[in-house]
Amino acid sequence: MAKLFSTFPLTAEQIAVVFPLVNAAAPEIDLARWRSFAAPLTDGAAPRSSGAIGLRNEAGYACGLLIYRVEHDLRRGAVLAIDLFVALDLVKDEDATRALLQVAEAKAAELHCVAMHVRSDVAQKALCDRLTAAGHRKEASLFFKEVAAGDRPS
């Protein structure tokens, strides 16, 4: 079977290339905000235990992206926390998701993590279904509340 997908490290040159993937998962993020967030991941400013990995399909198009960092979980120890997981391929969407999950598991093993936490937006129902099919289970709920600047402690 031919290799359908390949990975690439996010570089400064690739930040704009993968932006459509970021925008598909988080439409409220504009290119300037994405560049600001991604720059430390590409210029060495971020810790070695965090980063971004892209996925290309066999035609060479970027079709997946994951942003990760190692967290120390009270229950488990080191876990790979994936804050952005998006896999979009017009022809092999499910295969792209599986390939990106394999990449995530390999990165978790490389970083000596005992588990993975994948964050997904409530709008990513297909991703949630694919994660469940791949053996992941919902462990917790993440609650969100915006805080006004004046309400922050000094």
**Nearest alpha carbon to residue 121 among 19, 26, 30:** 26
Query: Are the beta carbons of 82 and 117 closer than 8 angstroms?
Result: yes
**Nearest alpha carbon to residue 53 among 115, 96, 23:** 96
In the chain, beta strands by DSSP E: 5-9, 50-57, 62-73, 77-87, 115-118
Give the model confidence (pLDDT) of 95-150 as tens digits.
899 999 999 999 999 999 999 998 877 667 777 677 777 777 777 666 666 788 76
CATH of domain 5-151: 3.40.630.30
For residue 40, what are its two tokens? 């430390």
Q: How far is CA 58 from CA 23, 61, 63, 100, in A?
A: 22, 8, 10, 14
pTM for this model (two decimals): 0.81
- Domain-by-domain residue ranges, the chain? 5-151
